[in-house]
């Protein structure tokens, strides 16, 4: 399966992530230039950067992906829907939303489902696609399975593992982060409907991991190590 992938095909599976809170406008512009250079699927940006991304990526074939309710998913549904409409008007062609994690952990699945449906309806009506971020570091398998069922029911485009910022406080008071794992990706691919694609985000920093996750059925990757992975693919391709 992985042997059929060319460097260009790998690039078109990557959403180049420009989401760190410390990124300046100059850093974001550099990241957008890199996205254009490597012809990735999208540059994934914060809402205020969408218009800039649309301008810098115009005519390149690189899409603009915007995050909403990011990174903790705690905005009201109405605000998330409004934010979705705003980023699409500004030029986003893909939207990555964070679920209300507390509602999922508390078992309020009606709320979670209604919110995903409202945002997906808004996204699809505007001609864009939605990726639903679970934040798997915070969840048990039962939560992930239920979220896969909800995403399948509402026919969202992608189910996504993580934001990249879901740090879990340990018993020693320090924070750790795992991100995308083989276990969670297998579970998500198994439990989501075939038409719901899987996006791995968080910790995908080298080509071998990307290729391994692709072999599990993952078709999109959130990454910051984009240049390293694509250059490695080019070297291997000769």
Question: Tokens at residue 136, please?
Answer: 């798997």
156, 148, 154, 164: which is closest to 44 by C-alpha? 164
Question: What is residue 139's three-state secondary structure?
Answer: coil
CA distance 93 to 123: 9
Establish whether 12 is a catalytic residue.
Answer: no
CA distance 179 to 164: 6
Catalytic position from the list 80, 96, 131, 209: 96
CA distance 230 to 222: 13
Question: What is residue 162's three-state secondary structure?
Answer: coil
Cβ atoms of 191 and 145 within 8 Å: the answer is: yes
Buried b (16+ CB within 10 A) or exposed e, 150-188: bbbebebbbbbbbbbbbeeeeeeeeeeeebbbeebbebb
Cα distances (angstroms) measured from residue 199 to each of 106, 174, 180, 186: 25, 28, 9, 12
Establish whether 199 is a catalytic residue.
Answer: yes
Catalytic position from the list 12, 46, 131, 160: 160
Catalytic position from the list 46, 80, 199, 209: 199
Question: Tokens at residue 198, please?
Answer: 């899987």
Backbone φ/ψ region at 197: left (φ over 0), alpha (ψ -120 to 50), beta: beta
Establish whether 96 is a catalytic residue.
Answer: yes
Active-site amino acid positions: 96, 160, 199
């Amino acid at each position: 399966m992985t042997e059929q992938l060319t460097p260009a095909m790998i690039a078109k599976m990557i959403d180049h992530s420009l989401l760190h809170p410390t990124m300046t406008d100059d850093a974001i512009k550099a990241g957008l230039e890199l996205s254009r250079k490597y012809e990735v699927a999208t540059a994934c940006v914060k809402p205020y950067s969408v218009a800039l991304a649309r301008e810098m990526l115009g005519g390149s074939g690189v899409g603009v992906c915007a995050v909403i309710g990011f990174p903790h998913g705690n905005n009201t549904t109405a605000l998330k829907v409004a934010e979705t409409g705003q980023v699409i008007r500004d030029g986003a062609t893909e939207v990555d939303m964070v679920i209300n994690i507390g509602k999922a952990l508390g078992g309020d699945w009606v709320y979670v489902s209604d919110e995903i449906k409202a945002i997906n309806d808004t996204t699809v009506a505007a001609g864009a696609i939605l990726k639903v971020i679970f934040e798997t570091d915070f969840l048990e398998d039962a939560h992930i399975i239920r979220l896969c069922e909800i995403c399948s029911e509402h026919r969202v485009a992608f189910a996504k593992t993580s934001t990249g910022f879901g740090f879990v406080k340990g018993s020693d008071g320090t924070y750790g982060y795992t991100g995308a794992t083989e276990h969670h990706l297998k579970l998500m691919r198994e439990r989501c409907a075939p038409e719901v694609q899987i996006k791995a985000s968080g910790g995908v920093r080298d080509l071998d991991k990307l290729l391994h996750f692709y072999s599990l059925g993952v078709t999109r990757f959130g990454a910051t190590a984009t240049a390293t992975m694509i250059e490695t693919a080019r070297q291997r391709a000769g």
